[in-house]
Chain A
């Protein structure tokens, strides 16, 4: 009897829905607050279901702060980093996985070790280099930092995918006169697309979500990304909570979209990159 209850679908659904509702509370609260007028924001007890939702916080957010610049900077940094990292890590993973060379194993170990070095520890030397090169307060400085932050994991994800790749397909293609590089573009890319997509999406999100390097490297809206700009609504004496939530939504939007559009790739990437490597 006890086992029937423990293994019942009803129990699984109830517990999952209960825990997930708790976890969704902050998201719900951010969405609701972002559409509240001030009169419903600064009250206690709080208003759970706003009676007059408004776009005012968003309007004020984009009017009072250079939020458009933040979004543009974030996009530049994220798209460039993702393109660079995806191409380079794809080459590296293709090489490690399908053309084993001496030192390849060591390289892999090295990439794993890289993930253990705390980015926070390397923040200072990175900053020294960036300021030596005169790159402080540029988007380029963040592209450089994010390449380091995302490259190792991207290789590990793709390697896990390429390892499962049927070698015979490539072998027969090469025998049929296809070059190795041709095999990469004509066979491995199409068939390995899910792995490349996973690595690309995760790189994109990590770069978009990065904060500490961006905070230290940038000081003006000329280069600051959304994660840094999302502090704008928090003043020294007064916090515009509804505008802050509107900004938080803008900053969290790519992540939330990818979770629903590309859930499969995210899960596959995170599991293979972490567990199989």
Chain B
């Protein structure tokens, strides 16, 4: 019992760190994007304000049970995904629940929240919600292929699917990182990450600026608050995953340094997404499908075939 309580405590710490860091990161990136576009932009703590405001609404409108549960599914998906990933190599506190399953579990658990959310949004009855979901899913199948190939290439390279083990194999200097030992897999994976982040040029899924489409269309109040919380955690989880897979993970004897390494690496990963997003206009859905099944998939294939030879 004590073990479980301690584990729960560790999980709480781990979650709080990633939540707060991600919220700050999202705010910062929004500000950076604004600067690029010549605007002043929001303060870096704007995401906090949003979440507090949403949760403080005194009324909510629900379209049904599934609608009600949608954000719960979504947040559960984000939390779960993060919890199955070891955030910092060698740290007991940040190893989370990684013993439950390996990379395959994480890859499939990502869908848990998305599916639940999509179902909840579907029950809203608003046609724009499923429209966004259809686009998102279609795009997902496309970037999933290069991503899967990259993962397969890494699994073939290290003969393991355990994320902890993959990070362990990359220790001992930057030259051991997958990014340098298996650059093709890294390229395929990082291109796929652009789609996964749903930033420009792959943002038609949510089309955030003009007409709101996608799951959040009908959500408000504390429902929306949960979605916003999840956005932070889920983003954090994905970045930590990619850091672990391609960029050597975060490891140091001193936990604080390790956390700083994580912060730096994930910041750069997100910065890359933001730079691409600020530089390119938006694709239509079928264009992004064609894009992902083109060069990124070829890179992934090359990465896999190199491992087979």
**Is the A/B pair a real complex?**
no
